Structure 1
Amino acid sequence: MAPADMLRTLREGALHISKRLVLSYVIDWILIIATAAVGYAFGTIEPNHNPFSLTDLSISFPYAVHETVSGAVLVLAGLVAPAAVILIVTLLFIPGRTVDKNTPLSLIWKRKLWEWNAGWMGLGVALAGVYMATQGLKNLYGKPRPDMLDRCKPDLSNIAAYAVSGLGGSLEGAPTVVTWGICQDKSDKLRMDGFVSFPSGHSSFSWAGLTYLTLWLCAKFTIAFPYLSYRPLNHDLLPAPTTSSRYSSSNGKDTSSSSRISIRDQGAAPPVYLLLIAIIPLGTAAFISASRWFDHRHHGFDIFFGSAMGVVFAWIGFRLYQLPVRRGAGWSWRSRSRNHAFFRAIEFPDYDYDYDSVEQGWAASRSSAQGKKLGTADTSGHRNKQNSSDVERGGSTDQDLHLFVSSPSDGAAEQPKGSPPREEV
C-alpha cells in the first residue's frame, strides 16, 4: 500500500474513533512516562549509606571498571528490542489470514493500531513500574555493593573515629562497624553508586521487558503446553467426519459420526523453532542478570529478588492488556467503552460495558411492554434481541445500541414463528 493511501485509510478510520476514548489512553501514556520519570528522579537522589565492617568478605571484591552489560545495552535489550519486535509482528501478522478479503482497510488498520498500542502499553507498564520500584528500593535500603571496599579506599589509620558499632575495640578479632565517612574516595562512584546493591536494576529491568516479550510472543503464536482439563466432561471426543477404515465397523458401514477418539488427540506441542523464539528473550535476561554476579556489582539475593520483581511486573503488564496465552487466540483485550473511558461505576461489570446500550435496551423493553398493553404489535423486539449478545460484550457502535429484555409477565406472549426465545429477568 502506498504511503498516501495508508494515510487516507487511517484518516477515514479515525473519524469513527471516540475522542474521549483516545484522550483517556493519551493520559494513560502520560502516566506511564511520568512513572518512569519518577524512577529516574529517584536515581538522582543520594541513597542511604548503611554502616559496614571492614572485615566483611562479601563487600571485598575488586571493582570492575568495564561492565559486561552497560546501561545503554540494557536499554537496547530490555526496551528497544521488545518494542521493535512487537511493532514488526503487529504489522506483519495481525489481524491474520482469517480476515475476510472484503474487510475494509480502515478496519484492518484500526485493529493493527490497537494491537500495537496494547502491546506497547503492557510493555510500558511493566518497565516503568519495575524501574520506579527498583530505584526507590535502592535508595531506601542503601546496601553496599560487593566491590564497595575497593571503591571506598578506607582510612585505616583512623578507624575508631568512624566506628559506630561492633566489639572490635574491646574484643580481639571481633568486627567493627563503621560509617561510610571512613572512605577516602567520596566521588559519585561511591556516594551515588556504591550503596545501591539491592535490588539489582539490571536484573529487574531485563526480566521485566524480556519476560513480557516472551509472554506476548507466546500469546500471538499460541506457544503453550497442550492442555487437558483435570475433570473433563467426556473422556473421549467426537472426531471430525472421516472415511478412514479405522472408523468403520466390521459390517462395512461408516460409523464416523458416532465413533470416538482418545483424549490424547485434544492437543499437540508447538514446533520447536517457536519454543526457541520464546526462550531467547528469557536466555538473554538470564545472561544480563548473571553478568551482575561475575562483575561483582550485586549479591546473589539482590539478583534473585530483582529478577522476581521483573517477572511479576511483566505478568501484570501482560495480563492488563492481553488475553490468556492458551485461550486468547493471539488477541489483546478490547479498548474501554467510550462511556467508561475514565471511570467505571459500581453497577457495571467491566470497563467495556456500554451504558447507553443498556439504557436504550431498558427503554426499548419498556416501550415494548407498553405497546403490548395497548394491543400494538412489537416489531422491534426481535431486532433488539439479535443485537443483545454484541451489547453484552460492550459493543459501542451505533447499530449495537439496543438490548431486548422482556418482562416476566410477557413470557407467555405469543411470538412469531422462527423468532429467537426471549430472555427473562
Structure 2
Amino acid sequence: MTSFYSVHRYVERAAPMLHMAYLMDWVFIFLLLGGFIVLTNMDPFFNLFTLDDPSIQHPYATTERVPSIVGVIYTTTISVGIVVIFTPLLHRKNPALAHVVNVSLLSLALSVILTEFVTEMLKNMIGRLRPDFIARCMPAPGTPLHGLVGIEVCTNTNLQVLYDGFRSTPSGHSSNGWAAFGWLSAWIAGQLKVFQPGTELFRSFIAILPLFGATLIGVSRIEDFRHHITDILFGGILGALIAWYSYRKYFPHLGKANCHMPFPPPAFNMDSGIDTVVDTDFYDSLDEMEAAKQGYSD
C-alpha cells in the first residue's frame, strides 16, 4: 500500500509543474461549466404577457438555420482547431510552445464557458419572451386578448419548448459567437502582430474574419424569429467584453512587441508557500527597455 509519505513526496514534486500548467484555473473553468449545466435545468422567470403584443406573435420555426448545439460546436471547434494547428507553425522554434498552446486553450475556454454561464444566468433572471412565444404557448380558447396573463393560459405540453420561450435575453448564439470568434480575432491579431508598425494589411483582414462569422450567427437568430434585435446586440456586447477580458487575462496588450506570447507562468515555491510572478513587462522598443534598466522608465 502506498504510504502517506510517498504520496506527499509525489505531490511535492508534481506541484510546481501543475502550478505552471494553470491547474487551478482549469479547475475553476470546469466548476463554471458545472454551474452552467445547473442553470440550464432551472426554470426561468415566467413573465406576464398579452396576446395582442405583435412582438411575440411570430411563427415558430421548427428548423433553425444554426441550431444551438451546432452553433457551439461550430464556433468552439473552429477556434480550438486554429489554435492547435497554427500555434506549432507560428512557434515552431519556440521552446515555450507547450506553454503557448496550453494558455491559449485556457484563455479560450474561459471566454466561452464564462460567457455561457453569465448568459444562462441572465436568461433565467430576465425571462423576456421570444418573438415566437405565442406560437409556443398555444393559448387556451377564450384567453383575453388585451389583459396581462401568465403561463397558466398556455396549453403546450412540451414544457421544454414552452419554458425556452422565456429565455430570449440575451441571445446565447450571439454571446457564444462573439465569445469564441471575438477571442479568436484577438488571438490572431496578437499572433500576426497586426498593430506593429509596417505589418501588411492582409494580416488585419485575417484577424477580423472571425467577427463576420459571429455577426452572421447572431443575424440568423433574427431570421428564425428566436430573438429580438436588442437580444442580439446585448449578447454580442456581452460575449465581446468577456472575450477581451479572457484574452487580456493571459496575453499582453496587442500593441506590445511580444503580443504573440502569453504572460510567463508564475514561479512556484513549495517551501515558502508564496507565489512570485516572473517579470511580465514587455517593451515596444529597445530604447524603452534600456531606459527601464537605467531607472528612467515608469
Q: Which TM bucket (shorter chain)? A: 0.7 to 0.9
Q: Is the 8 A contact 1:51 1:180 kept in 2?
A: yes
Q: Distance in 2 between matches of 1:305 and 1:320?
A: 23
Alignment of 1:327-338 (within 5 A): 327-329=256-258, 330-338=260-268
Aligned to 2:14: 19
Aligned to 1:32: 29
SS at match of 1:55: coil
Which among 103, 116, 123 is matched to residue 131 of structure 1? 116
**Alpha-carbon distance in structure 2 between the residues aligned to 1:58 and 1:75:** 27
Output the amino acid matched with 2:240.
V
Closer/same/farther in 2, CA of residues 307 and 338 from structure 1, 3 Å limit: same
* Fraction of identical pairs, as percent: 28
Correspondent of 2:192 among 215, 218, 221:
221
Is the contact between residue 21 and residue 336 of structure 1 (CA under 8 Å) also seen in structure 2?
A: no
1:193 to 2:167 alignment: no
Q: Distance in 1 between matches of 2:273 and 2:128?
A: 41
Counterpart secondary structure, 1:277: helix
Aligned length: 266
Residues 6-405 of structure 1: pairs in structure 2 closer than 5 A:
19-24=14-19, 25-96=22-93, 108=95, 111-159=96-144, 175-224=146-195, 267-272=197-202, 274-329=203-258, 330-339=260-269, 351-353=276-278, 393=279
Kindly name which structure, 1 or 2, has the bigger radius of gyration based on alpha carbons: 1
Q: Matches of 1:75 and 1:69 in 2, distance apart? A: 9
1:72 maps to a residue whose letter is I
Q: Tell me how far apart the structure 2 counterparts of residues 181 and 343 of structure 1 sit (CA, whole Å).
A: 58
- Amino acid corresponding to residue 117 of structure 1 in structure 2: N
TM (normalized to structure 2)? 0.83
**Structure 1 position 323, deviation (Å):** 1.6
Report the Cα offset of residue 18 of structure 1. 6.7
Question: Structure 1 stretches of 5 or more lacking a match?
Answer: 1-16, 100-107, 160-167, 169-174, 227-266, 346-350, 354-392, 395-420
Q: What is the distance in 1 between the residues matched to 2:84 and 2:273?
A: 29
Once the two structures are superposed, what CA deviation does each residue of 1:134-166 show, in whole Å capped at 9, x if it has no partner? 01111111111000001111113144xxxxxxx
| Contiguous gaps of at least 5 residues in structure 2 | 1-11, 281-293
Q: Is the 8 A contact 2:44 2:124 kept in 1?
A: yes
Q: Which amino acid is the alignment partner of residue 223 of structure 2?
A: F
1:293 Cα deviation from its structure 2 partner = 0.7
- Map Cα deviations across residues 303-339 of structure 1 (whole Å, 9 max, x no partner): 1010001001100110011121121431110001113
> Which of the pair is proportionally richer in helix?
2
CA RMSD of aligned residues (A): 2.3
- Matched letter for residue 218 of structure 2: S
d(CA) in 1 for partners of 2:63, 2:138: 19
Runs of 4+, deviation exceeding 4 Å:
342-345
- Match of 2:269, SS state, is helix
Q: Displacement of 1:89 after TM fit?
A: 1.5
- Report 1 or 2 for greater relative contact order, CA contacts < 8 Å, sequence distance ≥ 6: 2
CA offsets 1:266-295 (integer angstroms, 9 cap, x no match): x335232x2332122100000000111111
Change (3 A) 1:306 1:335: same
Query: What is the CA–CA distance in structure 2 between the aligned matches of 1:344 and 1:296, rounded to whole Å?
Result: 54
Change (3 A) 1:91 1:269: closer
Would the aligned equivalents of 1:197 and 1:299 in 2 still touch at CA under 8 Å?
yes
Q: Over residues 246-277 of structure 1, what are the superposed CA-to-partner deviations in whole Å (9 max), with x where a residue is unaligned? A: xxxxxxxxxxxxxxxxxxxxx335232x2332
Return the alpha-carbon distance in structure 2 between the equivalents of residues 318 and 344 of structure 1.
26
SS in 2 for 1:176: coil
